Amino acid sequence: MAGTIYKKPILFAVVVTVGILIGTAVMMVFPMLTPQMHPKLQNLNPYTALQLAGRDVYQEEGCFYCHTQTVRPLKAEVMRYGEYSKAGEFAYDQPFLWGSKRTGPDIARVGGKYTDKWHYKHFNDPRKLFQGSNMPSYGWLADRQVDAKAAEARMNALGFPYTKEEMAALSDKTKLDALVAYMQSLGHAVPRKPRPPMIAKGDMNPLAGDMNAVAEGKKVYEMNCAACHGVDAKGDIGPDLTDKEWLYVVGPVGDDTLFFTIADGTKKDMEFEGRRAKGGMPSWGEFFGKKKIWSLVSYIRSMEEKE
């Protein structure tokens, strides 16, 4: 009896096809409709109207051709870019902008790493911040207004309902404003893990007074720090390094505080010996290493002595 179906190839093909379709629906289609397959991180917030408009600009200008927005769980990538990407942080991304080519660095964790002023300067002239960068200038976006009506149509299509007040706020914003807002939103749902301290609190600079270290620190400064603090270190995007004010308080700080500030960067409301930072300086610890940071501290101290 059981062998009868094998003698009827058409019936056999139909039965097998139905069985496969049922199995596919149970194993693949149905799970995709369950909430567990669409996780959302606790800290994830929907894009604001301005951020979503900036995401549109990001797509219009083809930024995803050169930048990825996904950090793979590989040690080298995590060390360079930050915590690896989680499925739950892309719940509001339609479509995903993960990208596949890194002509430029991954930007999945760039939100909050730099100040708004840094981003405006970078988009206007990337080579002022990164020598040898082949990224084109996008300063002209500052002359293009956000099309609020087009933005609203896209938002409605994606299911992002905003109030009339939020949409009206777009009327005086440029595409560059929107793009900067989008940059600052990236990676906000994944808290940054603190790195182990590279030195102990109270450590003194072992290169203090070493003129070779001062010369080395000057090279490090010119290559990496001058774009934000100015060629003469008197401030630009970042604060003046030649005065007596450190983290918005007048008064000296220890070599260890300077080291930690350079190595760990600053985040909003981070405290250094009772001083509260405003944030916006990236961490340089992994990139520089201990010796270069101490050399940089020596160079900063040498400028301090000239005042």
What is the 3 state secondary structure string of 120-137? HHHHHCHHHCCCCCCCCC
Listed residues 168, 185, 202: the one ending a domain: 185
Q: Write down the number of H helices and E strands in the chain.
A: 13, 4
Q: What is the pLDDT of residue 69?
A: 95
* Average pLDDT for 23-37: 75
Domain CATH number, residue 142: 1.10.760.10
168 and 227 belong to one structural domain = no
62 and 162 belong to one structural domain = yes
190 part of a folded domain: no
257 and 162 belong to one structural domain = no
- In percent, the amount of the chain with pLDDT more than 70 equals 96
31 part of a folded domain: no
Q: Is 1 helix (H, G, I), strand (E, B) or coil?
A: coil
108 and 229 belong to one structural domain = no
The residues near 32 (Cβ < 8 Å, ≥ 6 apart) are none
277 and 161 belong to one structural domain = no
Q: What is the pLDDT of residue 2?
A: 60
Higher local confidence (pLDDT), 116 or 38:
116
Q: Is 279 helix (H, G, I), strand (E, B) or coil?
A: coil
6 part of a folded domain: no
Q: What is the pLDDT of residue 245?
A: 87
Query: Could you give the dihedral angle defined by the CA atoms of residues 260, 265, 269 and 275, in that order, rounded to the nearest 10 degrees?
Result: 40
For the chain, the residue count is 307
Q: How confident is the model at residue 139 (pLDDT cuts 50, 70, 90)?
A: very high
Listed residues 139, 168, 185: the one ending a domain: 185
Residue 25: Cβ within 10 Å count: 11
Listed residues 133, 151, 185: the one ending a domain: 185
Residue 305: Cβ within 10 Å count: 8
Higher local confidence (pLDDT), 36 or 70:
70
Is 1 exposed, middle or buried (CB count within 10 Å of its CB: 0-12, 13-18, 19+)?
A: exposed
- Residues 217-242 have pLDDT tens digits of 999 999 889 989 999 999 999 899 98
Residue with tokens 């916006």: 280
Measured distance CA(141)–CA(119) in Å, rounded: 13
Q: How confident is the model at residue 213 (pLDDT cuts 50, 70, 90)?
A: very high
Query: Could you give the dihedral angle defined by the CA atoms of residues 48, 53, 57 and 62, in that order, rounded to the nearest 10 degrees?
Result: 60
74 and 175 belong to one structural domain = yes
Domain total of the chain: 2
76 and 159 belong to one structural domain = yes
225 part of a folded domain: yes
Q: How confident is the model at residue 72 (pLDDT cuts 50, 70, 90)?
A: very high
Residue with tokens 């567990």: 36
Domain interval for residue 145: 49-185
Q: What is the pLDDT of residue 38?
A: 65
Q: How confident is the model at residue 216 (pLDDT cuts 50, 70, 90)?
A: very high
216 part of a folded domain: yes
Q: What is the pLDDT of residue 146?
A: 93
Range with the largest mean pLDDT of 84-93, 186-195, 290-299: 290-299
159 and 257 belong to one structural domain = no
168 and 250 belong to one structural domain = no
E strands, the chain, in order: 245-246, 249-250, 271-272, 275-276
276 part of a folded domain: yes
H/E run at residue 153: helix 148-158
174 and 252 belong to one structural domain = no
Residue with tokens 């905003």: 162
293 part of a folded domain: yes
Would you say the C-alpha torsion 98, 101, 103, 105 has a positive or negative sign? positive
Q: How confident is the model at residue 160 (pLDDT cuts 50, 70, 90)?
A: confident
Residue with tokens 């995709």: 32
pLDDT mean across residues, the chain? 88
Tokens of 95: 């479509």
284 part of a folded domain: yes
Q: What is the pLDDT of residue 165?
A: 85
Measured distance CA(114)–CA(280) in Å, rounded: 4
179 and 294 belong to one structural domain = no
* Average pLDDT for 146-158: 85
Q: Is the pLDDT of residue 193 over 90?
A: no
Measured distance CA(59)–CA(175) in Å, rounded: 12
154 and 91 belong to one structural domain = yes
